[in-house]
Amino acid sequence: MRNILTICGKELRAYFASPIAYLLMAFFGLIFGFFFYSATAYFVNAGLRQSMMGSGGPMSVNDYVIAPMLGNASVVGLFLIPLISMRLFAEEKRTGTIELLMTSPVRDSEIILGKWLGAMVMYLCVLAVSACNIALLFAWGQPDWRPILTGYLGLILQGGCVLAIGAFISSTTKNQIIAGAATFAVCLLLWVLSWVSSYNDAGWAQAVAYCSILTHFEPFSKGIIDTRDIVFYVSAIFLGLFLTSRSLESLRWRA
Amino acid sequence: MITVEGLTKRYARHVAVKNISFEVGKGQIVGFLGKNGAGKTTTMRVLTCFLPPTSGKANVAGFDVVEQSLEVRKRIGYLPETPPLYPEMEVADYLVFVAKLKGIPSPEIRRRVDEVCDRTAIASVKNTIIGKLSKGYRQRVGIAQAIIHNPPVLILDEPTSGLDPEQQREARQLIASLSGDHTIILSTHILSEVEQSCSSVIIINNGEIVAVDSVENLHHRGRANEMVSIEVSGASPAAVRQRLEQVPGVARVISRDSREGVAAFEVEALENAFLRPHLARAVVEAGWDLNELKMVGESLEEIFLELTKSERKEGELAVAQ
């Protein structure tokens, strides 16, 4: 455990020692802020219109603002996370510091978990920026906190899953740009896989659509915790980290 | 301390190390000598558990590098060819990170970091970001990380490469100062470095060991017959040459650059002849002054080139074909 935390701490320091952490947080803050503004403006507008016409029941800030915003955040995550994961192993391979890690009395699994955890904490810091916007909602309204919590749980699980895949891709190359671009391509693919089920309802199409990362996020944003989705994300995280460990081991016999 | 038996490391199409065996005793400094691409780094990577061998066995501090890799890694300090440094970290933070990785208990870490900083003379740059350090300092930080957990075995891959002569001398002194407590293998292609800091030498060529010996023995190797350098003053070079040729046991006399009034020669002995007393007597009896009389060993450089020559010719032939 100590080794995992040591490596995790070093990763975090590396993120915050470079502009990348601040840039990611700033960009995410900007984009999420825009979503927040649009969703709230729409909500206020729709609310006004409804009260003027005197129709319909009460409008829920959870349905109109929070759910779509978290949905958007999950898509933005797919674009930002490759920027977090790309340096994980590629950088160490390029500079040769991987030799230090792999010749220290540390297990490969500890290296991988430490790095993944470091990237997760970085991702959480980025997500935390969005909490400022949510806090505003609590200051001027009474949103239900439970769907927000499940939404964030979904975002964290989805982030963990993409980071694990990104870690694997990063471990296969010395070039950060290649790692980032490939992870981004895989993320895009995992996003659009769900489209298959819209024009084909054969078994294989359902199976392919099931692999789409975003379909599993939707229930979370609505406040539903479905064990199937959790199992999906946890297995994807496990698969990504397992592939990373295989890839790291292959370094030993290929290097 | 280190035992290697029949070690072979094969990459996809290329055999980097072929069936090598050697032993290194406790407290020794061994120079691992070879040209670029001879297999030095590969052997070191196997010893540090970075690469598993294709076949053969390697034992470090009593543990097998494959079966008991974690135990070996605890007992090894390794400086790869490029020091494994994180440019964004401060020197002290980096050393604390390495100390934790190497399993030093938390209360001892600060003390160990201070100790290695003093030992490698980097205390003055402790709070400097590694990326801003000069190459010489980076190399020292690299050595500091290798010795921070006080490992019984140190493996240094070209520790002085890329340093200026002053820095090379300092690095060599630092390595020499580590010799008492640690068993050290250092690889290099700088021959003078081996002569200055190592007790014995392993010469490797094209993945095969061509010589394992002490530096002293290597010097006397290669030349079967004794060779003596002699400087005489008080007579003409021709007269001295003539007298020397008459000494029993002399095979031939070779002129060296004679200065004014001083005749210098190299004298080669016949097989099993012991020349020096006879030469000294001959000169003194002739009434000349004997300025210098010493045995000439082959330089390590010549031996190295000699040992790696046959392979080189084959290689060149293959390229020519």
pLDDT > 70 fraction of chain A, expressed in percent and rounded: 98
B304 domain residue, yes or no = no
Choose among B51, B80, B89: nearest Cβ to A13. B89
**Does one domain contain both B198 and B232?**
no
Look at residue B18 in the predicted model and tell me its pLDDT.
87
CB burial readout A17-51, b (16+ within 10 A) else e: beebbeebbebbbebbeebbeebbeebeeeeeeee
Instruction: List the Cα angle A24/A26/A28 in 5-degree steps.
Output: 65
- By C-alpha distance, the chain B residue nearest A114 is B101
pLDDT digits (tens, 9 = 90+) for A57-96: 677 777 777 888 888 888 888 889 999 999 999 999 999 8
Q: Give me the pLDDT at residue A157, please.
A: 92
Residue A78: domain span: 2-52+59-254
Q: What is the pTM of this model?
A: 0.82
CA distance B136 to B283: 51
Domain that holds residue B52: 2-220
Residue with tokens 């003390």: B111
Considering the domain architecture, whether residues B45 and B9 belong to the same structural domain is answered as yes
Quote the minimal CA–CA distance from B69 to chain A in Å.
8
Nearest to B267 by CA among B259, B280, B134, A50: B280
- The answer to whether residues B185 and B270 belong to one domain is no
Domain presence at residue B314: no
Tell whether B71 and B143 lie within a shared domain. yes
For chain A, say whether B145 makes contact (Cβ under 8 Å): yes
Q: Is B132 on the interface with A (CB under 8 A)?
A: no
Are B115 and B175 within one domain?
yes
- pLDDT digit string (tens) for A6-43? 999 999 999 998 898 999 999 999 999 998 898 888 88
Is B188 within 8 Å of B31 (Cβ atoms)? yes
Which residue is it, tokens 């915050």?
A16
Contacts of A105 in chain B (CB under 8 A): 70-71, 73-74, 101-103
Where does a domain end: B174, B202, B220?
Answer: B220
**Per-residue DSSP letters for B259-295?**
BTTEEEEEEEEPTT---HHHHHHHHHHTT-EEEEEEE
ipTM for the whole complex: 0.86
Q: Residue A169 corresponds to which tokens in the numbers above? A: 């891709």
Is residue B309 assigned to a domain? no
Q: Which residue of B has its CA nearest to A93?
A: B84
Q: Looking at residue B258, which CATH number applies to its domain? A: 3.30.70.3190
A to B CB pairs, distance under 8 Å:
77
Question: Which one-letter amino acid corresponds to residue B71?
Answer: E
Distance, first Cα to last Cα, chain B: 44
Q: What is the pLDDT of residues A123-182, one digit of tens each?
A: 999 999 988 888 888 888 787 888 888 989 999 999 999 999 999 999 999 999 999 999
Q: Are residues B120 and B170 in the same domain?
A: yes
For residue B68, give the chain A residue with the closest CA: A105
Residue A63's Cβ-count burial label (10 Å; 0-12, 13-18, 19+) is middle
pLDDT mean across residues, chain B? 84
One domain, residues B196 and B276: no
The secondary structure element, H or E, covering residue B202 is strand B200-205
Return the pLDDT at A65. Answer: 78
Contacts of B93 in chain A (CB under 8 A): 13
In a domain, residue B302? The reply is no
Distances (CA, A) of A63 to A60, A149, B210: 5, 14, 78
> Is residue B84 within 8 angstroms of chain A, CB to CB?
yes
Rounded to 5 degrees, what angle do the CA atoms B104, B108, B110 make?
105
Q: With respect to residue B320, please indicate whether it lies within any of the assigned structural domains.
A: no
CATH number at residue B94: 3.40.50.300
Q: Could you give the number of structural domains in chain A?
A: 1
Query: For residue A118, is pLDDT > 80?
Result: yes
A10 inside 8 A of chain B by CB? yes
- The pLDDT value recorded for residue B198 is 83
CB contact under 8 A, B88 and A18: yes
Q: pLDDT per residue over B144-201, tens digit each?
A: 999 999 899 999 988 887 778 887 888 888 888 887 778 899 888 777 777 777 888 8
Most A CBs within 10 A among B100, B150, B158, hence the mutation to make, goes to B100
Nearest Cβ partner of B50 from A9, A99, A107? A99
- Kindly state whether residues B207 and B188 are assigned to the same domain: yes
Q: What pLDDT does B57 receive?
A: 87
Task: Specify if B32 maps to a domain.
Answer: yes
- Is B72 part of a structural domain of the chain? yes
pLDDT of residue B222: 56
pLDDT category of residue B110 using cuts at 50, 70 and 90:
very high
The torsion defined by the Cα of A105, A110, A112 and A113, in degrees rounded to 10, comes to: -160
The number of domains in chain B is 2
* pLDDT band at B223; cut points 50, 70, 90: low
